[in-house]
């Protein structure tokens, strides 16, 4: 992102980064804190049917994070749009230093002045995309 980010954009991107940090470190407590408590939440894990409601989404992360990945799940080239009290972040996801193998849509809403996740959708890329050492895409 450029230096012309607004505070909302920077804060939404920080929430998005925290999601990947929670995922990579197996931190269920942080993951739970990141998701909305008031708004309805949904989650589309790669290739899977939709999970609806905080209980179902948190159960899925409890199962996933009970076996943290050997490599971190990195967010590559995030792009944020602020639409009122909603932030839509799109990015690619890569395991460790590997090529990006997933594309993600993450939607956040302002709750008590904090950006909270209301929807995560990650889906496989047909062809993994190489990533530069600075985190940007090669094409």
Minimum CB distance to its own copies smaller for 21 or for 121: 121
Minimum CB distance to its own copies smaller for 46 or for 96: 46
Q: First and final CA of the chain: distance in angstroms?
A: 17
Shortest Cβ 92–its own copies spacing (Å): 8
3 state SS of 98: coil
Residue 72 tokens read as 């971190």
Shortest Cβ 127–its own copies spacing (Å): 8
3 state SS of 8: helix
3 state SS of 47: coil
Shortest Cβ 116–its own copies spacing (Å): 11
Minimum CB distance to its own copies smaller for 27 or for 111: 111
Rounded Cα–Cα distance for residues 86 and 71 (Å) = 31
Rounded Cα–Cα distance for residues 75 and 105 (Å) = 11
Q: Summarize as ranges the residues that interact with its own copies (CB under 8 A).
A: 39-40, 42, 44, 46-50, 52, 79, 81, 83-86, 88, 90, 92, 103, 105, 107, 109, 118-119, 121-127, 129, 137, 139
């Amino acid at each position: 992102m450029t230096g012309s980010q607004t505070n909302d954009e920077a804060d939404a991107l920080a929430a998005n980064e925290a999601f990947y940090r929670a995922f990579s470190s197996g931190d269920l407590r942080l993951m739970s804190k990141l998701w909305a408590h008031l708004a309805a939440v949904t989650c589309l894990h790669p290739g899977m049917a939709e999970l609806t409601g905080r209980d179902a989404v948190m159960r899925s992360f409890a199962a996933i994070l009970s076996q943290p990945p050997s490599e971190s799940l990195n967010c590559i080239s995030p792009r944020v749009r602020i639409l009122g009290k909603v932030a839509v972040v799109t990015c690619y996801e890569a395991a460790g230093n590997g090529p990006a193998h997933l594309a993600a849509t993450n939607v956040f809403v302002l709750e008590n002045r904090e950006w909270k996740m209301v929807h995560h959708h990650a889906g496989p890329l047909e062809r993994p995309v190489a990533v530069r050492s600075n985190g940007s895409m090669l094409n």
